[in-house]
A and B are shown apart, each in its own frame.
Chain A
């Protein structure tokens, strides 16, 4: 990791000096833990007036493999979306600079480093966030309502996927993985029979709005991060994804991210101009979101069997059964409605 830091330190210093007004250099460059699809670096730009806390989001080794899932946007697009979201009042880390080829450190961008916490375990349990927790679901609704108002004519080219498209896409992936899951078949069948009407208006959708991608402070929601799989789709997808059981981290009775109620989420959404929320429509997306996670777990098992011998991958493969129990509780509840 030290060698890796040295390899970008010089070029990053040059880029920062050229493009961040007042910057004289950089300090405290560190690679933060991040997904396989991105590198996240923390550093400070030094100026005569003091330090500017910054983040570099960069493709692994400098270049994003867009073939990874076929759904990730380029880092340039991600930077553009963050700026568009900022314009409509979504809390985001402002983008300071988008790297160009001339900088020589690959694709990526520099944005502000917002202080706060993304780890659900801490947000849901620590005293520090006790005052934030009751406010979060409503704030999430308000922020999503704004996010969904970004003018479509301003958007960079994005994947367009309605609910029906996503059901088809994941059904195809499921069939290709070729392992029988009767509960998944039942869920696919239910989704095909209960798809929302085709004429519904599609908007910018964040696509991964959940614990882990939300920067939370003691005062509440501070920033929406990780716009990597943003696309044009059904806005209800964003309201339901944060409600699927895996994102509740054990707080099963707090459907919104383990911290709040659907009533608060929907009230915030409607109050901020997001339009009337139909709980049945959100349920469609909750079933689809749960099923998507289940199919992703199958994908992990498949990758393991094809030679990626990570024990972690193998055990995630055995977590598709978690989504099966969630799907059964949604589709064939043992008691009255949840």
Chain B
């Protein structure tokens, strides 16, 4: 067990420093890149919070879907191979369900304000 503050709390503090204290002192390109850097830290924070459970869920779904074991990378590569070969596709209900869950989780980490994600949440009844 690590001491306080937690990784998430440290990132929050750094992000707040960049956004509210450093960026206003910067100009032009450097100010723009500072805002981008703060956004990148937001992604890291959300991945720390959501990633472990999401990856475990994704791996469990993939193992069931593919009937095999392996790392997340191996499982995703095998899924890609089967989609390319046409062995699974839009006619496979479990695939559609899996891809939707995985995609929504990725967006929850990467870009939770993206219009397509907000709309998909409404359409899935999760928002």
Interface residues of A (CB under 8 A from B): 180-183, 185-186, 188-190, 245, 248, 250-252, 311-312, 314-315, 318-319, 321-322, 324-326, 328-329, 331-335
Residues of B within 8 A of A183 (CB): 99, 103
User: Are A252 and B76 neighbours in the complex by a CB distance under 8 Å?
Assistant: no
Residues of B within 8 A of A322 (CB): 107, 110-111, 114, 116-117
User: Are B80 and A185 neighbours in the complex by a CB distance under 8 Å?
Assistant: yes
Nearest A residue (CB) for B83:
A185
Known A-B contacts A180-B73, A186-B83, A332-B90; the reply to A325 vs B103 at CB < 8 A is yes
Shortest Cβ distance from residue B121 to the other chain A in the assembled complex, whole angstroms: 9
How many Å lie between the Cα of A325 and that of B36 in the bound state?
22
Residues of B within 8 A of A315 (CB): 36, 39-40, 43
Shortest Cβ distance from residue A124 to the other chain B in the assembled complex, whole angstroms: 12
- Which of A245, A311, A329 sits near B37, CB closer than 8 Å? A311
Interface mask (B75-103 → A, CB under 8 Å = 1, otherwise 0):
01101100110100110000010011011
How many Å lie between the Cα of A312 and that of B38 in the bound state?
11
Residues of B within 8 A of A325 (CB): 103-104, 107, 114, 116-117, 120
Shortest Cβ distance from residue A322 to the other chain B in the assembled complex, whole angstroms: 5
Shortest Cβ distance from residue A247 to the other chain B in the assembled complex, whole angstroms: 11
How many Å lie between the Cα of A322 and that of B99 in the bound state?
13
Residues of A within 8 A of B102 (CB): 182
Number of chain B residues close to chain A: CB under 8 A = 34
| 8 pairs of residues in contact across A and B, judged by CB atoms under 8 Å | A182-B102, A185-B84, A312-B36, A315-B36, A322-B116, A325-B103, A329-B120, A332-B90
Is there a chain A Cβ closer than 8 Å to B123's Cβ?
Answer: yes
User: Are B40 and A314 neighbours in the complex by a CB distance under 8 Å?
Assistant: yes
User: Are B83 and A321 neighbours in the complex by a CB distance under 8 Å?
Assistant: no
Known A-B contacts A322-B111, A322-B116, A334-B120; the reply to A186 vs B76 at CB < 8 A is no
How many Å lie between the Cα of A325 and that of B73 in the bound state?
20
User: Are A335 and B123 neighbours in the complex by a CB distance under 8 Å?
Assistant: yes
How many Å lie between the Cα of A85 and that of B40 in the bound state?
42
Residues of B within 8 A of A248 (CB): 115
Residues of A within 8 A of B37 (CB): 311
Residues of A within 8 A of B99 (CB): 182-183, 186, 328, 332
Known A-B contacts A248-B115, A332-B99; the reply to A318 vs B43 at CB < 8 A is yes
Interface residues in B22-44 by Cβ distance below 8 A to A read: 33, 36-37, 39-40, 43
User: Are B90 and A311 neighbours in the complex by a CB distance under 8 Å?
Assistant: no
User: Are A329 and B76 neighbours in the complex by a CB distance under 8 Å?
Assistant: no
User: Are A329 and B90 neighbours in the complex by a CB distance under 8 Å?
Assistant: no
How many Å lie between the Cα of A181 and that of B99 in the bound state?
10
Interface residues in B104-127 by Cβ distance below 8 A to A read: 104, 106-107, 110-111, 114-117, 119-120, 123-124
Which of A312, A321, A331, A335 gathers the greatest number of chain B CB atoms within 10 Å? A321
Nearest B residue (CB) for A328:
B103
User: Are A180 and B76 neighbours in the complex by a CB distance under 8 Å?
Assistant: yes
Known A-B contacts A185-B84, A315-B40, A328-B120; the reply to A321 vs B111 at CB < 8 A is yes
How many Å lie between the Cα of A188 and that of B86 in the bound state?
11
How many Å lie between the Cα of A250 and that of B106 in the bound state?
19
How many Å lie between the Cα of A332 and that of B80 in the bound state?
17
User: Are A328 and B100 neighbours in the complex by a CB distance under 8 Å?
Assistant: yes
How many Å lie between the Cα of A186 and that of B103 in the bound state?
13
Known A-B contacts A186-B99, A321-B110; the reply to A181 vs B80 at CB < 8 A is yes
Shortest Cβ distance from residue A31 to the other chain B in the assembled complex, whole angstroms: 13
How many Å lie between the Cα of A312 and that of B111 in the bound state?
14
How many Å lie between the Cα of A331 and that of B90 in the bound state?
8
How many Å lie between the Cα of A208 and that of B114 in the bound state?
22
Residues of A within 8 A of B111 (CB): 318-319, 321-322
- Which of B33, B84, B110, B123 sits near A334, CB closer than 8 Å? B123
Nearest A residue (CB) for B98:
A182
- Which of A251, A321, A333, A335 sits near B103, CB closer than 8 Å? A321
User: Are A186 and B36 neighbours in the complex by a CB distance under 8 Å?
Assistant: no
How many Å lie between the Cα of A245 and that of B107 in the bound state?
15
Known A-B contacts A321-B103, A325-B116, A329-B116; the reply to A182 vs B80 at CB < 8 A is yes
How many Å lie between the Cα of A324 and that of B123 in the bound state?
16
Residues of A within 8 A of B83 (CB): 182, 185-186, 189
